[in-house]
Amino acid sequence: MAKKTKANRATLPELFPGKVAEACTYGTLSWVTIRDMRRKGKIPAECFKQPGRRILVVRDPFLDWVDAWLAGGAHA
């Protein structure tokens, strides 16, 4: 999966809308699940910015977490 994550780093902007995050997990986590995991503190806070009502994802910390999660190191 590391090759795919590198491709995401090259193509995604530094901040992107939350719904795009679902594609970054290669379909293993829905955006609803990601939001729930965020709320429960299972995904590091530095992975998100919330200017107002919209949640933006911070590319590098989130993709680092995705790599760890897919490798089994961050399962909650």
DSSP structure class, residue 64: H
- What whole-number distance in Å separates Cα of residue 62 and Cα of residue 40? 16
Segment 27-46 mean pLDDT: 92
Mean pLDDT of 23-42: 88
What confidence tens digit (pLDDT) does each residue in 43-72 have? Answer: 999 999 988 888 999 999 999 998 888 888
pLDDT score recorded for residue 35: 92
Q: Give the residue extent of every domain in the chain.
A: 2-70
Give the Cα separation of 9 and 2 in Å (integer).
10
Give residue 4's pLDDT: 62
13 CA to centre of own chain: 13
| 55 or 2, which is more confident | 55
